[in-house]
Structure 1
Amino acid sequence: MKKLFIFMAAVTIGSYAFSYSAKDIVGEKNYEILKKEGKIQVNRFNDESNTLELVPDTEVSKIVFGGWKNLNLTAMTGENLYLLPKNGTSIEDVSVILRAVSKLEGTEYYSNRRKRTEILYKNAYCIKDASDRTKVPDMTEGNADGQVQYCMLDDHSLGKTNYRISYAQREKEVAAEFTNVSPVSYGPINAVSSGNLVIGAVFIDCGDEYLVYMAQKADFFSLGFLEEKIKKSLLSRLDAIYGCFMKQVGGEK
C-alpha cells in the first residue's frame, strides 16, 4: 500500500511538473526570431508536397494537423508561428476564447489594396448545422475536446461562408480546426468549393507564454488576375484571426 501511495504521488507530482518549452519545440534560432519579431511565416503555392514546415511536435498539434498531408489542397499553404504572453490566462480560458465565435465579429484587418484598416467579419455567430444558418449560442461550456460546432462568418471580401469547427484539448494545449462547408465567394464567383479551405490554430502553454501555431490550406479556381487577390485575402486572415485571439488572451474577453 505504501509503495502504491508513493507511486501515485510521483505520478501526480510529475503531471503538475510537466510543461512545454517553446524554445525546445521550435529550436533556439526560431525562438530568438519569435522573441524579436513576434512571428515566423511560411507561405507556399502550388506545392504538391503537402508538407507543414512549422507545425509543433505536440500531442494536440498531431491530432489536428497530422492528417493535413492527405487533404490534397495544394494551391496555397500558409503557416504562422507566434509567441504570446499568457497575461494570467490559462488553457481553459483560451479554450473558451476559441469557441466564442461571436467574438470574431468586428475583427479588423489591414487591406493592402485600400491601404487602410477595415472590418474583416461584419457578422460572426454559431449556426444550427452545416446548411441551416439559424443563430445559436456559442458552445463554450466544459472541456472543448471532441466538441464540434458550426458557424457563419460574413467576410468583408469573401462573403458569407459556413464552417465546421472541431476542437481538441489537453492539459497544456487546445486547438480549433475550421473547414468551409459552403463555397467561399469572391464577388459573384464561387472561388473555393466546400471542403477546400481548412484553417487550424493551436495554443500551447509554455510556462509564461503561449506558442501559437496557425495554418491554412486551400484549393481554388485559377482565376487569372483574381488569383493573387484571393491569395492575399486568404493569407491576411491568419494574422487577423490571431489578432482577435491575442486581444482576448490579453484580457479583453
Structure 2
Amino acid sequence: MKKQLCISFFSFYFLFSSYATSLSEIVSRENLSLLLINSKIINVTTGTVQPKLVPEHNFVKVFVTAIQDQLKPAIIVENVYLYRKASSKIGKSWTEIEQLKLFNEIRALSTLKGIEYYSASRKKMRTFYEDSFVIDKPETKNPLPDPTDLVLPKETSLFAWQKDLTFGGNIYRYDYKTSDNSILFIQTNLTTLSYGIFPLVAKENLKSLVCIIDIDEGLLLYAVTFARSSTVPGVEGKIKDSFSNRTEAIYKWFATKADKIFM
C-alpha cells in the first residue's frame, strides 16, 4: 500500500516539468542571501514538523509532500547547496547531453565507496560508505556494474547494497525521476537499520530525497532525510548529526561529478 501511494504521487511528475530558472524564484529572500554567502543551508527538526527549506519547484514539492504524508517522520534533516558552474555556463540551461551525463554519474553508486564525512561525535573525518554497489534484487544480492543509459529516462529504479560504519550493511532501493530541468532520486532502506545492538529504523522508514535543479546561477541541490525511528536515549542526537554530516559528504561527492561536466 505504501509503495502504491508513492508511485501514484510519482506519476505527477509529467505535470510539473519546467525550464531553468533563477535562484531567487525558488528560494526565499532570506535563504537566497545565505546561499549566496555560504553556498549552503542546514535545517534539523524533530517531532511533528514540516520541511522548511523545500524549493518553490513543483517537481520536488510533490515528492516531498508524498513522503511526509506517508511516513510521518520523527526526524527531518534538510540541506541546501548552491553549486556554481563555470562562468562560461552561468545563465545557460544544461543541454540534454549534460543532463544525461550527470544522471549517469550520480547513478554510479560504486563510486560512493570510500567517501568521508566529518563525525561530530569523534571530531574527525570518518569513512561514510565502506562498500557500495548495485545488486540485481534484494533476495539474491548479486553485484551488478553501475548502470548507464543512452537516453535519459523519465523514471527508473535500482537496488543497492551499501555498508556504512554507523548502520552496517543494508539493502536500499533507489528511485530516480527526471524533468526538463531537474534530476531527483529517493533512497529507501529495505532492511532494518541498527546502531550497535539497537534496531533504530524499520524497513522503509528511512527515505532520503535528493533533487538537483538547473538554475541560472548553477545547480541547486536540495537534500532531505525523513526518518521514523525508535527512541533510544542518547541516540537521537547521533542520528541527526550523522544524517546532516553524511549529506555534506554526498554533496562533495556530487560536486566532483558535476565538475566533470560543468567546469
Query: When the two structures are superposed, what TM-score results if normalisation uses the length of structure 1?
Result: 0.86
Runs of at least 5 residues in structure 1 that lack an aligned partner in the other structure: 1-16
Question: Structure 1 residues 162, 110: closer, same or farther in 2, change over 3 A?
Answer: same
- Counterpart for residue 59 of structure 2: 60
Q: CA deviation at 1:226?
A: 2.5
Deviates more, 1:168-177 or 1:28-37: 28-37
Equivalent of residue 134 in structure 2, options 100, 122, 126: 126
> 2: CA distance between counterparts of 1:231 and 1:73?
16
Q: Deviations over 1:199-226 (max 9, x none)?
A: 0001111124001100011011111122
> 2: CA distance between counterparts of 1:56 and 1:113?
31
- Counterpart for residue 174 of structure 1: 183
Q: Deviations over 1:29-58 (max 9, x none)?
A: 321210111111111112x24x22211222
Q: CA deviation at 1:180?
A: 0.4
Letter in 1 for 2:119: S
- Counterpart for residue 5 of structure 1: none
- Counterpart for residue 229 of structure 2: 220
- Counterpart for residue 71 of structure 1: 70
What percentage of residue pairs aligned between the two structures are identical?
26
Does the aligned pair in 2 maintain the 1:63–1:168 contact within 8 Å? no
SS in 2 for 1:147: strand
Does the aligned pair in 2 maintain the 1:91–1:205 contact within 8 Å? no
Does the aligned pair in 1 maintain the 2:19–2:180 contact within 8 Å? no
> 2: CA distance between counterparts of 1:57 and 1:30?
12
- Counterpart for residue 37 of structure 2: 36
Question: Structure 1 residues 108, 181: closer, same or farther in 2, change over 3 A?
Answer: same
Q: Which has the higher contact order (CA 8 A, sep 6+)?
A: 2
Q: CA deviation at 1:114?
A: 1.8
SS in 1 for 2:72: coil
- Counterpart for residue 85 of structure 1: 84
Q: Does 1:232 align with 2:241?
A: yes
Question: Structure 1 residues 196, 58: closer, same or farther in 2, change over 3 A?
Answer: same
Q: CA deviation at 1:185?
A: 1.6
Letter in 1 for 2:190: V
Q: CA deviation at 1:63?
A: 4.2
Number of positions where the alignment pairs a residue of Structure 1 with one of Structure 2? 235
SS in 2 for 1:67: helix
Q: CA deviation at 1:130?
A: 2.8
Equivalence map 1:104-115=2 (5 Å): 104-115=112-123
Over aligned residue pairs, what C-alpha RMSD do you find? 2.1
Equivalence map 1:17-28=2 (5 Å): 18-28=19-29
- Counterpart for residue 46 of structure 2: 45
Does the aligned pair in 1 maintain the 2:154–2:178 contact within 8 Å? yes
Query: When the two structures are superposed, what TM-score results if normalisation uses the length of structure 2?
Result: 0.83
Does the aligned pair in 1 maintain the 2:159–2:171 contact within 8 Å? yes
Runs of at least 5 residues in structure 2 that lack an aligned partner in the other structure: 1-17
- Counterpart for residue 197 of structure 1: 206
Equivalent of residue 147 in structure 2, options 136, 139, 143: 139
